[in-house]
Amino acid sequence: MTRSDKNPSNGGHAVKVRGLVKHYGGPQGTRALDGVDLDVREGTVLGVLGPNGAGKTTLVRCLSTLITPDSGSAVVAGYDVLRQPRQLRRKIGLTGQYASVDEKLSGFENLYMIGRLLDLSRADAKRRATELLERFSLTEAAKRPAATYSGGMRRRLDLAASMIGQPAVLYLDEPTTGLDPRTRNEVWDEVKRMVGEGVTVLLTTQYMEEAEQLASELTVIDRGKIIAGGGIAELKAKIGGRTLRVRPADPAELRAMAADLDASGLTGLATATVDAENGTVLVPVQSDEQLTAIVAALASRGYALADIATELPSLDEVFLSLTGHKSSAPQDAAPTREEVAA
Helix ranges restricted to H, 240-301: 254-264, 288-300
11 in contact with other proteins (CB under 8 A): yes
102/260 with CB nearer other proteins = 102
67/295 with CB nearer other proteins = 67
Select the span of 109-117, 182-190, 206-214, 279-287 touching other proteins (CB under 8 A).
109-117
- What's the min distance (Å) between Cβ of 334 and other proteins? 24
CA–CA distance, 31 with 37 (Å, rounded to integer): 15
Q: Where are the beta strands (DSSP E) in the chain?
A: 13-24, 30-41, 45-49, 71-76, 79-80, 92-95, 169-173, 200-205, 217-222, 225-231, 242-248, 273-275, 280-285, 305-311
Q: Which residue in the set 101, 129, 220, 257 belongs to the binding site for other proteins (CB under 8 A)?
A: 101
Q: What distance lies between CA 300 and its chain's CA centroid?
A: 38
CA–CA distance, 172 with 93 (Å, rounded to integer): 8
- What's the min distance (Å) between Cβ of 189 and other proteins? 23
State the sign of the Cα–Cα–Cα–Cα dihedral 126, 129, 135, 140.
negative
71 in contact with other proteins (CB under 8 A): no
127 in contact with other proteins (CB under 8 A): no
Q: Which residue in the set 2, 3, 9, 196 belongs to the binding site for other proteins (CB under 8 A)?
A: 9
In three-state secondary structure terms, 4 is coil
DSSP 8-state symbol, 106: B
Q: What is the CA radius of gyration of the chain?
A: 23
Q: Which residue in the set 31, 35, 43, 89 belongs to the binding site for other proteins (CB under 8 A)?
A: 89
Q: Which residue in the set 23, 61, 156, 184 belongs to the binding site for other proteins (CB under 8 A)?
A: 61
Distances (CA, A) of 223 to 99, 205, 262: 25, 15, 39
53/248 with CB nearer other proteins = 53
276 in contact with other proteins (CB under 8 A): no
- What's the min distance (Å) between Cβ of 317 and other proteins? 32
- What's the min distance (Å) between Cβ of 218 and other proteins? 22
75 in contact with other proteins (CB under 8 A): yes
- What's the min distance (Å) between Cβ of 118 and other proteins? 7
Kindly give, in sequence order, each residue whose CB lies less than 8 Å from that of residue 9, ignoring residues fewer than 6 positions away. Answer: none
Kindly give, in sequence order, each residue whose CB lies less than 8 Å from that of residue 230, ignoring residues fewer than 6 positions away. Answer: 217, 218, 238
- What's the min distance (Å) between Cβ of 105 and other proteins? 6
Select the span of 95-103, 133-141, 230-238, 313-321 touching other proteins (CB under 8 A).
95-103
Q: How many residues are present in the chain? A: 342
Strands 13-24 and 71-76: antiparallel
Q: Which residue in the set 31, 90, 126, 245 belongs to the binding site for other proteins (CB under 8 A)?
A: 90
Select the span of 43-51, 78-86, 198-206, 325-333 touching other proteins (CB under 8 A).
78-86
Contact residues for other proteins, defined by CB under 8 A: 7, 9-11, 13, 16, 18, 24, 61, 64-67, 73, 75, 78-80, 83-84, 86-87, 89-90, 92, 94, 96, 98-105, 109, 113-114, 116-119, 145, 161, 165
